[in-house]
Structure 1
Amino acid sequence: MELKATDRSGLLTYLCRQLEAFFPDGQDVRGELDRYLDQGLARVRHCINGVRIWRPESFDYLHSSQYTLFLYYLANSIWRDGGDLRLCTKLFYLNKTLNGIDLFYEIAMPKVFFIGHSVGIVLAKATYGEYLVLYQNSTVGKNHGVAPVLGDGVILYPNTAVIGRSTLGPRSYISQGVSVINSDTPGDCYVYQGEAGGLVIKPPKHDILSDFFRL
Structure 2
Amino acid sequence: MELKGTSREALLDYLCRQLDTFFPDGVSCRGEIERCLNEGLARVGHCIDGVKMWEKGRFDYLHSTQYTLFLYYLANTLWRAGGDPRVCAKLFYLNKTLNGIDLFYEIEMPKVFFIGHSVGIVLAKATYGEFLVLYQNSTVGKNHGVAPVLGEGVILYPNSAVIGRSRLGDRSFVSQGVTVLNTDTPGACCVYQGPGGTVVTKPPKHDILADFFRL
TM bracket, shorter-chain basis: over 0.9
1:201 and 1:13 map into 2 onto residues whose CA distance is 49
Runs of 4 or more, structure 1, over 4 Å off, are: none
1:143 counterpart residue number:
143
2:28 and 2:161 map into 1 onto residues whose CA distance is 39
Superposed counterparts of 1:121-132, under 5 Å = 121-132=121-132
1:130 and 1:178 map into 2 onto residues whose CA distance is 21
1:132 and 1:34 map into 2 onto residues whose CA distance is 28
**TM-score normalized by structure 1?**
0.99
- C-alpha deviation, 1:200, in angstroms: 1.2
Structure 1 position 78 matched with structure 2 position 83: no
**Aligned pair count?**
215
**TM-score normalized by structure 2?**
0.99
1:28 and 1:90 map into 2 onto residues whose CA distance is 11
- C-alpha deviation, 1:13, in angstroms: 0.2
Q: Which amino acid aligns with 1:129?
A: G
Superposed counterparts of 1:98-177, under 5 Å = 98-177=98-177
1:200 and 1:82 map into 2 onto residues whose CA distance is 44
2:28 and 2:171 map into 1 onto residues whose CA distance is 44
2:59 and 2:150 map into 1 onto residues whose CA distance is 27
Aligned identity (percent) is 77
Structure 1 position 7 matched with structure 2 position 7: yes
1:29 and 1:180 map into 2 onto residues whose CA distance is 40
2:81 and 2:24 map into 1 onto residues whose CA distance is 25
1:161 and 1:39 map into 2 onto residues whose CA distance is 31
- C-alpha deviation, 1:111, in angstroms: 0.2
- C-alpha deviation, 1:29, in angstroms: 1.2
2:208 counterpart residue number:
208
- C-alpha deviation, 1:62, in angstroms: 0.7
Unaligned stretches of 5+ in structure 1?
none
1:163-199 deviations in Å (ceiling 9; x for gaps): 0000000000000000000000000000001110011
- C-alpha deviation, 1:39, in angstroms: 0.8
Q: Which amino acid aligns with 1:127?
A: T
- C-alpha deviation, 1:32, in angstroms: 1.1
Secondary structure of 2:191's aligned partner = strand
2:20 counterpart residue number:
20
1:47 and 1:3 map into 2 onto residues whose CA distance is 14
RMSD in angstroms over aligned alpha carbons?
0.4
Superposed counterparts of 1:34-113, under 5 Å = 34-113=34-113
